[in-house]
A and B are shown apart, each in its own frame.
Chain A
């Protein structure tokens, strides 16, 4: 072989290496894998929100179509979950690893894939949309309206109202449980949905109207009993730990490590004054707090999960956790 021919052979090998390696990677991803797979495979790169979050951040899938989502963490450790109501949690995904889930949605809807590991100060912004569309149905798909929040808005209740924190008596939940039989409870207060859209303060007023002869502290205790659930499930405690504790603190004292960086001081559920002020936690959680840095969780949690979480939050204010 002459030197010239050797040079030419070397050049051919070089071109094959330089062009062949990228071509085989791209070819595998866009041609070979789709050709081999019997359904769509989507690769999703996960970066901290400061660097772009999920890409892609919107995925459309038809009803009944099987799709595989492959999440790769490209910078730091992320956690991937898809909600609401799908119960998909891929857990922590370290850089260099891939978390994979295959699903076949059977009804139209809008779901959110989100990070549930505190990966950066803006972690909670790390969300993407999984849209399940019915190709035969006309019209756009939207998230289903939340009946409780719709009703509140229809009744022109100001969800973002900020009344003053009130001084007053501290409720005693166990006493409320004992005294429940001795007072006349209006039927609304026994309805969990009514309790979600009304504050304990309103409940107390309703109880006082029904029982003018009973002392206020007894009625406060009964309100505390009705509005709270001091023994939450493991799932609800974990929900609080993963999504709320960074700002609101481990025991709801409003002293989480991120509490100093929010526009408004996070609510201290553990402070009984908040029980008397009585915001509609359900709406605040699902819709977010306007201008307070409180994110919206309505696209992540089911209505039932939010309800259980609210019951737990109220119980924090009596120091029973």
Chain B
């Protein structure tokens, strides 16, 4: 078969293309009914407690933010939430975790020498890119195996 000869459009190839498109585009069903979650985040020099929040997509998150030493801030990337908290006066805000992925929250008030390293992360699951990439790898492996068997049989 020469290089510039067009490959025939076979039924196999169409099916493979449809499967790949399905893997990439079909929304992943969630088997989880969204509910409301209460989260307490404590900000101190120079960390957040908890440093990592795992939330299911669609959940409504009620955050109570406390500062335990000096004034701190809370800026959540991707959700554009900004809050400032003074020690003793807790701040409350609510957001809906409608974007999945990993988002950093960081201090937005210069609180001390290590202020730039005061970072935590919000993980809104499921982790779609990982699942889609894994499924794509499985499809690719299956296609290679099937193609090899066909060539051997020919």
Spell out A's residues near B (CB within 8 Å).
Answer: 73, 75-77, 92, 94-95, 117-121, 123, 241-242, 244-250, 256-258
Contacts and interface: CB of A to CB of B under 8 A. Distances in A.
Contacts of B109: 77, 92, 94
Interface string B38-68: 0000000000000000000000000000111
B115 interface: yes
B67 to A, nearest CB: 7
24 contacts: A75-B110, A76-B70, A76-B110, A92-B109, A94-B109, A95-B110, A117-B86, A118-B69, A118-B70, A118-B87, A119-B71, A120-B112, A121-B70, A241-B88, A245-B89, A246-B86, A246-B87, A246-B88, A250-B89, A256-B87, A256-B88, A257-B68, A258-B69, A258-B88
Given A75-B112, A118-B69, A244-B88, 18 more contacts: A75-B110, A75-B113, A76-B110, A95-B110, A119-B70, A120-B70, A121-B69, A121-B70, A241-B86, A241-B89, A245-B87, A246-B87, A248-B88, A249-B88, A257-B66, A257-B69, A258-B69, A258-B87
Question: What is the interface residue range for chain B against chain A?
Answer: 10 to 19
Contacts of A258: 69, 87-88
Contacts, number: 61
Please indicate which of the listed interface residues A76, A117, A119, A258 has the most CB atoms of chain B within 10 Å of its own CB. A76
Interface string B61-86: 00000111111000000000000001
Contact of A77 (B66, B87, B111): B111
B100 interface: no
Contacts of A92: 109
What's the dominant secondary structure at chain A's contact region? loop
A108 to B, nearest CB: 34
A215 B68 CA distance: 45
What's the dominant secondary structure at chain B's contact region? loop
Interface in B85-108: 86-90
Nearest to A92: B109
Nearest to B115: A76
B110 A118 contact: no
Contacts of A256: 87-88
A258 B88 CA distance: 8
A118 B113 CA distance: 15
Contact of B112 (A76, A94, A246): A76
B88 A257 contact: yes
Given A246-B88, A249-B88, A123 B70 contact: yes
Contacts of A247: 88
A244 B86 CA distance: 11
The 3 closest A-B pairs by CB, nearest first: A245-B88, A257-B68, A256-B88
